[in-house]
């Protein structure tokens, strides 16, 4: 392949991949694997180079980080730390906001942003109910705080990728603590922005809060989900064909698309019902579904319809039955499944009354609705089942529940984690191996089984990073004895800027321009992918212009965490969109000012902390 053709091929592959990442026409991990296959088949890379991403220390470190974070979560260590921090938030909006953001930033120092948010969601939801501060004032700040905190540690996916580029190019790598010099100032300024200004840009009430009409039922989940609009009462008259049948035999769910949520019998209310519950003549059934459609299908004396009633959460609860809200966890096995497919009621002993997705509630046909990441489910069931919800890895209860999955191992998990971090700080070149050793220690001590360790890993993230790292090789590889693609880009950029006679401004403009490009890209594309692409180009430019390579990479690493201006910037933004009731415009309105402030802070502190 001629050098010109090879350079053009690399650029075409890169552009097509970026378009597919941004448009999400294909899953991101599939796109990354297609890049690997294309680079190998075209001959741009050798087979060894094309598949080298799977053996890189960056990938090993990412895998180990997932396992260690899951071990800390299962033992309850992270939950106790996060809850303790939030407890100091007080009852005012400002102090609670500061506490929530500090907690999110702290936990994201040693676990992924999504995991940190998942750990804190129940505590934040509880604090919201106790203080009366709307969730819309807390959840977006929580999500953004985890991104801010991720700037201050090596244990962030994009930072790990950037660090691996230094190692592969023979440049001294970063220690875990090196990121704090820039990350902490940006984090502090970001939290200060929310406390002083940013919180005013957040909606005063979330879509969830606005759904609650009367003020005296604020926080009532039945009103929140508009469930009352789909609840109605019917009586089983004498002679009805339903008399004496069980609910499973009645065919109400299958034939009439309604669910029985309560039975009123002789001045008693039955909430603990199952498919085997038998109904009697004279029973009043509280049904969930479309009453108009049901009336069309009903034949007398099948049912006797009763006047409308006022519904509240308290009606559906008793001493033994509770209405609760849960979210799907980031790697939930329920995603893309229907409730009917997974036999949700049989599995958890809870009935799903409604689904909240983004800005709307789904109350009809919930059994056949495919679940999606970020969905919240309104459940009704026995209180004794709450512990099962708390320990199930597929669900995140939006309330504080009792249920540590691994008892008596908190000290062991904390010790392993602290020792691993200490060794990684002392021996930065061995970070990957030491993190893997820490992950294995979690398994050997019985904190995690090997199966749990494998399930804790976001394999999609692993394949995305492993698939895109070879693109960095393709960009840096000399072509036909001539310059590499990244060298050509570097030469063009430096020549263009040189004609402008910028003098001492040349270096800040180059660094600032690359950081700005990075910030723009991460609003739509996985930050790890952006790091794998822009890192090799930045290193080449640094060497050509004489910029200190580690300073350049550090700046880009911090910039890659500024995923604030779009819900698509990071999965954690999507995660809080539903329960926070945010719209796309809310992210733009709050995220753009935060991005500008964080960017300016970065450019001010970079030359102070890193001389170049």
- pLDDT reported for residue 606: 94
Looking at the fold, whether 517 and 596 belong to one and the same domain comes out as: yes
**Do 449 and 592 share a domain, yes or no?**
yes
The whole-number pLDDT of residue 456 equals 86
What pLDDT is attached to residue 516?
A: 95
Angle at 363 between CA 362 and CA 364, to 5 degrees: 100
Six-digit token string for 191: 């939290």
Identify the DSSP state of 401: -
The three-state (H, E, C) secondary structure of 162-178, written as one string: HHHHHHHCCCCCCCHHH
Note if the pTM is more than 0.85: no
**135 and 101 part of one domain:** yes
Residue 458 and residue 599 in one domain: yes
**Rounded CA gap, 57 and 74, in Å?**
26
Domain boundary among 311, 346, 375: 311
Residue 565 belongs to some domain of the structure: yes
Task: Classify residue 588 by burial, with Cβ atoms within 10 Å: 0-12, 13-18, 19+.
Answer: middle
Residue 415: per-residue pLDDT: 95
CA distance 439 to 423: 14
**Residue 403 is assigned to a structural domain of this protein:** no
Say what the pLDDT of residue 218 is: 40
Pair 289, 340 in one domain: no
HEC secondary structure over 214-267 = CHHHCCCHHHHCCHHHHEEEEECCCCCCCCCCEHHHHCHHHHHCCEEEEEEECC
Query: Domain check: are 256 and 240 in the same one?
Result: yes
List, for the chain, all residue ranges whose pLDDT scores fall below the cut of 70.
1, 204-220, 298-301, 358-359, 399-407, 497-503, 612
Count the neighbouring beta carbons within 10 Å of the beta carbon of residue 352. 22
In a domain, 138, yes or no: yes
148 vs 138: CA distance, rounded Å: 15
Which of 278, 311, 344 is the C-terminal boundary of a domain? 311
Same domain? For 240 and 105 the reply is no
Residue 500 confidence (pLDDT): 63
d(CA 577, CA 359): 8
Buried residues in 99-112 as b, exposed as e (16+ CB within 10 A): bbbbbbbbbbbbbb
Say whether both 445 and 503 belong to one domain: yes
Same domain, 576 and 493: yes
Residue 169 lies in a domain: yes
Is 258 domain-assigned? yes
Q: Are residues 286 and 325 in the same domain?
A: no
Residues 329 and 471 in one domain: no
The residue from 264, 286, 311 where one domain ends is 311
Quote the pLDDT of residue 34. 95
Structure tokens at 207: 């879509």
CATH code of the domain containing 325: 3.30.70.1450
C-alpha–C-alpha distance, residues 412 and 83, integer Å: 20
Domain count, the chain: 3
Residues 297 and 321 in one domain: no
Range of the domain at 250: 221-311
* pLDDT recorded at residue 358: 66
Cα–Cα distance between 8 and 539 in angstroms, integer? Answer: 21
């Amino acid at each position: 392949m001629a050098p010109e053709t090879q350079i053009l091929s690399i650029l075409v592959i890169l552009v097509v991949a970026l378009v597919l990442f941004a448009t999400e026409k294909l899953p991101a991990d599939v796109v990354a694997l297609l890049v690997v296959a294309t680079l190998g088949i075209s001959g741009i890379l050798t087979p060894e180079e094309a598949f080298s991403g799977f053996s890189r220390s960056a990938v090993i470190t990412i895998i180990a980080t997932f396992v260690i974070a899951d071990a800390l979560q299962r033992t309850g260590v992270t939950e106790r730390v996060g809850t303790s921090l939030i407890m100091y938030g007080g009852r005012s909006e400002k102090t609670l906001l500061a506490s929530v953001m500090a907690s999110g930033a702290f936990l994201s120092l040693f676990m992924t942003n999504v995991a940190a948010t998942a750990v804190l969601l129940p505590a934040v939801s509880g604090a919201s109910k106790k203080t009366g501060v709307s969730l819309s004032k807390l959840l977006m700040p929580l999500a953004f705080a985890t991104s801010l905190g991720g700037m201050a540690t090596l244990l962030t996916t994009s930072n790990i990728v950037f660090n691996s580029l230094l190692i592969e190019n023979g440049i001294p790598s970063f220690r875990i603590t090196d990121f704090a010099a820039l990350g902490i100032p940006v984090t502090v300024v970001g939290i200060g922005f929310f406390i002083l200004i940013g919180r005013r840009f957040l909606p005063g009430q979330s879509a969830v809060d606005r759904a609650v009409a009367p003020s005296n039922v604020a926080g009532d989940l039945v009103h929140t989900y508009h469930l009352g609009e789909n609840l109605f009462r019917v009586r089983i008259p004498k002679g009805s064909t339903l008399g004496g049948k069980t609910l499973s035999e009645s065919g109400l769910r299958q034939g009439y698309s309604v669910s029985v949520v309560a039975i009123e019998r002789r001045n008693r209310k039955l909430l603990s019902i199952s498919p085997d519950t038998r109904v009697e003549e004279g029973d009043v059934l509280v049904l969930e579904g479309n009453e108009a459609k049901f009336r069309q299908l009903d034949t007398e004396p099948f049912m006797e319809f009763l006047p409308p009633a006022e519904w509240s959460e308290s009606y559906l609860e008793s001493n033994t039955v509770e209405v609760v809200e849960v979210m799907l966890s980031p790697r939930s096995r329920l995603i893309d499944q229907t409730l009917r497919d997974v036999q949700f009621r049989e599995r958890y002993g809870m009935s799903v009354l409604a689904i909240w997705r983004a800005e709307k509630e789904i109350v009809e046909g919930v059994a056949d609705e495919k679940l999606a990441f970020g969905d919240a489910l309104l459940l009704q069931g026995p209180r004794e089942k709450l512990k099962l919800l708390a320990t199930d890895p597929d669900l995140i209860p939006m309330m504080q529940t009792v249920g540590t999955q691994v008892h008596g191992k908190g000290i062991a998990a904390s010790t392993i984690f602290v020792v691993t971090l200490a060794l990684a700080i002392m021996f930065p070149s061995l970070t990957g191996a030491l993190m893997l050793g820490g992950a294995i220690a979690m398994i050997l001590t019985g904190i995690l089984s090997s199966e749990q360790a494998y399930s804790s890993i976001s394999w999609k993230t692993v394949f995305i990073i492993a698939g895109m790292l070879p693109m960095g090789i393709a960009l840096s590889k000399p072509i036909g004895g001539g310059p590499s693609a990244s060298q050509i880009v570097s030469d063009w950029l430096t020549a263009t800027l040189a004609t402008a006679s910028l003098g001492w401004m040349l270096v800040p403009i180059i660094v600032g321009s690359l950081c700005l490009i990075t910030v723009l890209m991460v609003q739509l594309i996985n930050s790890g992918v952006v790091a794998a692409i822009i890192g090799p180009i930045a290193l080449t430019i640094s060497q050509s212009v004489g910029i200190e390579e580690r300073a350049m990479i550090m700046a880009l690493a911090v910039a890659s965490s500024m995923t604030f201006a779009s819900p698509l910037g990071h999965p954690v933004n999507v995660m809080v969109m539903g329960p926070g009731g945010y719209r796309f415009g809310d992210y733009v309105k709050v995220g753009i000012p935060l991005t500008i402030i964080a960017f300016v802070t970065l450019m001010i502190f970079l030359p102070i902390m890193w001389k170049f």
